Structure 1
């Protein structure tokens, strides 16, 4: 039975604390929006910096929310040099050292006492202590795949077995990276190169390595862990996680759950809320897509964090141009390392009829456009689950973190993609685009559509994710009565 809280008396009140990074904020916002639709009061806590960026990209009223969905901010303390400055090590240092006190002050002074905190898993380095000091329960939301979580969770075991950190970079050989790890629950046949790239560090004191260990081990210090996946996608790992933790909830894909909410209800509840993005979206690409044949365009986007050299950018560009397929390419303002993304004039002349370049877009809307036939992606989890939800096959060029794990599952386990080499060569880009978009890609397209149907089923009435998020709401209601 669908759980909806209809009485205003003793309404549960959840504090949502996302990691201040694009994909994490987006996933947390969608969960918060869904809980709010079901009758839960929400206080969504951004940092000052990300709040300003959301307002800049979405407009001055995009975060107005409602009386029962409030946006609050805490100072992040990070000395940003530009709006696009997102250094991960710096960010995690400040999360660990400066977020606790302002967060406690904020929550203590809220007009309604909170029922619980839903914290991004990586924010647990301070939110668990905050919850203890406030005397309220806490849930951890892992906004990525179950395989991505399991890969990070195993870092401690890999250290205990002497595989991490590497003694030096000379260990980064094909022989070493192709080595099979055969003892990770639910991840049979996984190679070292498929696991999180942080494992390739040589620094035993690496800040990100230490925080990854602390955050994932914190999953045992809470009673509730939430994962942005669905059971049919990762059954063996979901089963393994179920045996590791007392309560897990699989709530993906969040957008498909939100799609179940009638539009008029969304408009009534959250009339002004409209921004999931830290970058301003350009709508012009949709007019261009509208003029293209079904499944004739490859969409290219490397996410919010990837950076590359101008040389790599040009190789990608000529690879796309030489494929003779239409392409929509998102080139962020900070995609290149220390320089502007200026493509050669001859490239622009060569591709002006075939390509459309934008700085950012509404990705889910693009992926669901009938003209899109494939996705060249960095394999971030947000992009991956959105592509699966839209039934779009992928070319995988993982950059860092869990993207290498997602890549492995995309091409090997889910059979919806092609793996690309780390070193960008225009010939390989051309070959893979032609393969994905041509007749050879039909099998991948068919498989992608199968996953779309399974994702829709999970989010539909009595689907695994619908039931799981319903159980989550029931638990929140129970906590509010204690």
Structure 2
């Protein structure tokens, strides 16, 4: 019998590539062949990691398709990138699948696409291939995406997705409230980017109606209200918690593992871990205030300062800073975050609250200091602060800066109150139980994998037993 062959395609951003790569690895472990499709630029970044070259064996192949932009064009221009993807990648993916089916010993039998690449679901439908959508972020964020028409009908956004007024909205009493200007597609400064991402939203909702499975990297233990609004969404997460101490594939930057021996030398529950993901950008004033706050904390800290984190070409530390903090502070360009957060010396996580980072912190029982930058990160901050009550947020001054005094004070408040850690540990136990054998997410993922293996059964998820 021919082996099932799944094509997996993420949205081309770091926070999207990593969790769907985790899903792909789960499939490979179950004997399923996977073709993982990145854009050409991201393919080069991911395959520069030796882990990717050596860790998957024959069942995982990494390929690329062009995103429609020229090599020299700026892919941080999200309006241009998104527009190009919508215009060009559909036909390129179709060509890739036709080539695979001609040259490979096993045809593509299923496509799993990030729902932000909804056009790929349409390609699968057109080509008669089974299909599943994957959502890498919180289901609360997805709920706002799925409710875009209601937001238009209620006069909250116009037909282009642009907010009509700056107001607080809430889909249900148990869901995190959010500003209309912080919806997943409205948080960008440029109007053109808002409109471009709203097209992605509309396409994602259309594609959702064509999927046979809609997989979510979350769990009902974390988001019961959001899942109750859309019962067709299937929790299979947290995927990132399934192998927390393993090497992790899909990163765009090389991890600096030298911070792990440094962590070994620090006292238990002493280190402030500071990391803001792949998108957050600081101005120089804010960067220096954070640096000085970490110095003033008198605690050991591990700080990820990735390339491009400040508006300046290179991040500039206050004069004499590195010498003053000495070995008490460790600064790296990119960290093996899952291993860092699982380390017993880490006391708390100063985070942008991206969903991957949020899940990693939650599954390690860590309290948070929340510093969201854009998109779903504001939803996630609300979860952490107001619903799970496992962390605190920061207040900005009149100039829009989070000062060194504010940061130092919140660190002391968080680490001086044991209730934050106690709540974090309680949630950790509930969430990690769902991915263990017998747990809800474990069962759901098992059902999905069984469906992939049974190529003669085209029954969608609502015709098989599902754990909720």
TM-score (norm 1): 0.86
- The answer as to 2:382 corresponding to 1:408 is yes
Distance in 2 separating the partners of 1:274 and 1:371: 21
- The answer as to 2:352 corresponding to 1:388 is no
Could you list the per-position Cα deviations for residues 270-310 of structure 1 after superposition, in whole angstroms to 9, with x for gaps in the alignment?
Answer: xxx96321001111111211110011001000101111111
1:69 — aligned with what?
60
- The answer as to 2:344 corresponding to 1:370 is yes
SS in 2 for 1:99: helix
Match of 1:130 among 103, 112, 123: 123
Kept in 1: contact 2:273–2:301 (CA 8 A)? yes
Match of 1:100 among 90, 109, 126: 90
Structure 1 pair 404–280 and aligned structure 2 pair: CA distance change class (3 A): same
1:150 — aligned with what?
143
Structure 1 pair 80–304 and aligned structure 2 pair: CA distance change class (3 A): farther
Distance in 2 separating the partners of 1:64 and 1:470: 23
1:6 — aligned with what?
none
Kept in 2: contact 1:298–1:373 (CA 8 A)? yes
Distance in 1 separating the partners of 2:439 and 2:199: 37
RMSD between superposed Cα atoms in Å: 2.7
Kept in 1: contact 2:268–2:346 (CA 8 A)? yes
Match of 1:109 among 96, 99, 107: 99
Report the CA distance between 1:165 and its aligned residue: 5.0
Kept in 2: contact 1:165–1:200 (CA 8 A)? no
2:434 — aligned with what?
458
Structure 1 pair 313–389 and aligned structure 2 pair: CA distance change class (3 A): same
Could you list the per-position Cα deviations for residues 150-202 of structure 1 after superposition, in whole angstroms to 9, with x for gaps in the alignment?
Answer: 133333322222222599x9987xxx54x3x35x1474462426952533579
Report the CA distance between 1:103 and its aligned residue: 1.0
- The answer as to 2:442 corresponding to 1:449 is no
Give ranges in structure 2 of 5+ residues lacking alignment: 459-468
- The answer as to 2:427 corresponding to 1:436 is no
Report the CA distance between 1:30 and its aligned residue: 0.5
1:255 — aligned with what?
240
Alignment of 1:209-228 (within 5 A): 209-228=198-217
Structure 1 pair 170–35 and aligned structure 2 pair: CA distance change class (3 A): closer
SS in 2 for 1:374: strand
Q: Which has the higher contact order (CA 8 A, sep 6+)?
A: 1
Report the CA distance between 1:328 and its aligned residue: 0.5
Alignment of 1:69-468 (within 5 A): 69-81=60-72, 85-110=75-100, 111=104, 112-124=106-118, 126-165=119-158, 176-177=166-167, 179=168, 181-182=169-170, 184-185=171-172, 187-188=174-175, 190-192=177-179, 195-196=182-183, 198-199=185-186, 203=191, 206-242=195-231, 245=232, 248-258=233-243, 275-421=249-395, 423=400, 424-437=402-415, 439-440=416-417, 442-468=418-444
Could you list the per-position Cα deviations for residues 424-447 of structure 1 after superposition, in whole angstroms to 9, with x for gaps in the alignment?
Answer: 21111111112222x22x111111
Kept in 1: contact 2:40–2:66 (CA 8 A)? yes
Structure 1 pair 113–381 and aligned structure 2 pair: CA distance change class (3 A): same
Distance in 1 separating the partners of 2:153 and 2:163: 21
Paired residues in the alignment total 447
Could you list the per-position Cα deviations for residues 209-256 of structure 1 after superposition, in whole angstroms to 9, with x for gaps in the alignment?
Answer: 2322331343223231110001211112112210xx3xx321111133
Report the CA distance between 1:10 and its aligned residue: 2.8
1:44 — aligned with what?
36
Structure 1 pair 397–224 and aligned structure 2 pair: CA distance change class (3 A): same
Report the CA distance between 1:480 and its aligned residue: 4.7
SS in 2 for 1:390: coil
Could you list the per-position Cα deviations for residues 324-350 of structure 1 after superposition, in whole angstroms to 9, with x for gaps in the alignment?
Answer: 121100001111124310112232233
Give ranges in structure 1 of 5+ residues lacking alignment: 1-8, 264-272
Kept in 2: contact 1:63–1:274 (CA 8 A)? no
Distance in 1 separating the partners of 2:177 and 2:316: 39
TM-score (norm 2): 0.88
Could you list the per-position Cα deviations for residues 96-121 of structure 1 after superposition, in whole angstroms to 9, with x for gaps in the alignment?
Answer: 11111221111112111111100001
Structure 1 pair 389–348 and aligned structure 2 pair: CA distance change class (3 A): same
Structure 1 pair 153–187 and aligned structure 2 pair: CA distance change class (3 A): farther
